[in-house]
Structure 1
């Protein structure tokens, strides 16, 4: 799946999720707006803009080449998608849980709020 203006909110989030698990940086970033904002839930903005986002995931994919996320649950309401994910950095390694709240605008993911 590729990013585009006609893709539903859930399809956008699933597409970036699949590209994340494949560690396909270009495909993953294609789902995000140029001015994407990433923040801690109810807290500080941690990234602004696609270049900062791309740099972060170059690091994540480089540091954790076997990183995988498993979707535990997904809720979709309008232009907002909430994912509950279980993440493992190495096969058989420790896992941690994340809630990611994706806000869609203009056919792209415009904002992600994380709770770890």
Structure 2
């Protein structure tokens, strides 16, 4: 299985605001970090689901634009522009670690 499969699937679900398809791409014990934090901002699929329902997928202007994708071992680096959560597109780098075909950890970097 390609390490890009769960990342591409979550990206597509994100843009469709399909919470079930989105969440299906993540491991049960997922951990998400908003860098430079040393502790996770999100732990587990239920917390991830709640965050995206309450803070992202309820926004009709939300969409992500992929600038580039790079793979290094079991990590996928997406350079993105996120539209709809600020007056201008928000640039971000998301690093996804893939374990057993699911996104197990993600680190999000913003300018």
* Structures share fold, TM-score greater than 0.5: yes
Q: Does 1:29 align with 2:15?
A: no
Separation of aligned partners in 2, 1:42 and 1:111: 15
TM-superposed deviation, 1:66 = 2.1
Separation of aligned partners in 2, 1:36 and 1:42: 18
- The TM-score, its normalising length taken from structure 2, stands at 0.91
Provide runs of 4+ in structure 1 moved above 4 Å: none
Separation of aligned partners in 2, 1:94 and 1:77: 30
Structure-1 residue corresponding to 2:6: 12
Residue-by-residue CA offset, 1:23-61 (whole Å, 9 max, x unaligned): 000000000001100002342310000000000010111
Q: Does 1:88 align with 2:83?
A: yes
Secondary structure at 2:60 match in 1: coil
Match of 1:48 among 40, 43, 57: 43
Structure-1 residue corresponding to 2:102: 108
Give the gaps of 5 or more residues in structure 1.
1-6
- Aligned pairs, number: 107
Secondary structure at 1:72 match in 2: strand
- The TM-score, its normalising length taken from structure 1, stands at 0.87
Give the gaps of 5 or more residues in structure 2.
none
